[in-house]
């Protein structure tokens, strides 16, 4: 039951983008097409899950026992950067079109505060390894869900007649705010 609560809270109630405001750069930058948003969501899911596992193990078996907790942020950033490079190489070989579509946002996963934030949050929340993995996957699903919904809305908005002063970023920010308010409706669940 605890894992289900972690899942629901991470996906809907405390959505990493819409409630905690982590990962806003890719949320706004890669959300013009649903296909690109789904690819970014998949890449973030993979990197977030693997990085959470690796950073958890590094924290519990290297940093904590040797009193190197002050090195946490630097170690986590290096681990995340290495994993993103691995994803970039894999995507370049498996799906060149998705690699091209993600463009500059793929290397930006390295600096995506969502990835680093989740790695630090699982340590702060004192989760065990299984809880950490469930939280990471759930957070990534929540990120991907918000990104895909937002991309779908933006595709629909692109086909409508919007006043010139509201086109582009202004309407995107208003839409993101409305989407965040919609997700606030889940706040009483957990």
pLDDT tens for residues 132-183? 999 999 999 999 999 999 999 999 999 999 999 999 889 999 999 999 999 9
With a cut of 80, say whether residue 101 has pLDDT above it: no
Report residue 107's pLDDT band, with 50, 70 and 90 as the boundaries.
confident
Q: Give the pLDDT confidence of 26-82 residue by residue, as tens digits.
A: 888 878 899 888 888 888 888 899 999 999 999 999 999 999 999 999 999 999 999
pTM for this prediction = 0.88
Averaged confidence pLDDT in the chain: 90
Query: Tokens representing 100?
Result: 């091209």
Check residue 12 and give its pLDDT. 94
Q: Backbone phi, then psi, for 36, in 5-degree steps?
A: -65, -40
Distance CA 175, CA 152 (A): 11
Extended beta strands in 7-160, E state: none
* Percentages of the chain per state (helix, strand, coil), in multiples of 5: 80, 0, 20
């Amino acid at each position: 039951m605890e894992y289900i609560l972690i899942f629901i809270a991470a996906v809907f109630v405390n959505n990493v983008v819409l409630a905690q405001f982590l990962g806003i750069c890719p949320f706004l930058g890669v959300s013009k097409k649903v296909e690109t948003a789904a690819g970014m969501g998949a890449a973030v899911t993979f990197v977030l899950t693997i990085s959470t596992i690796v950073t958890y193990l590094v924290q519990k078996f290297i940093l904590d026992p040797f009193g190197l907790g002050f090195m946490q942020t630097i170690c986590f950033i290096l681990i995340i950067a290495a994993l993103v490079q691995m994803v970039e190489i894999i995507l370049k070989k498996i799906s060149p079109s998705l690699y091209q579509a993600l463009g500059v946002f793929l290397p930006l996963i390295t600096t995506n505060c969502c990835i680093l934030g989740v790695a630090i949050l699982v340590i702060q929340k004192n989760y065990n390894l299984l809880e950490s993995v469930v939280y990471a996957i759930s957070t990534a699903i929540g990120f991907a869900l918000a990104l895909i919904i937002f991309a779908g809305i933006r595709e629909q908005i692109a086909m409508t007649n919007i006043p010139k002063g509201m086109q582009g970023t202004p309407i995107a920010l208003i839409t993101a705010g409305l989407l965040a308010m919609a997700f606030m409706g889940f706040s009483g669940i957990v």
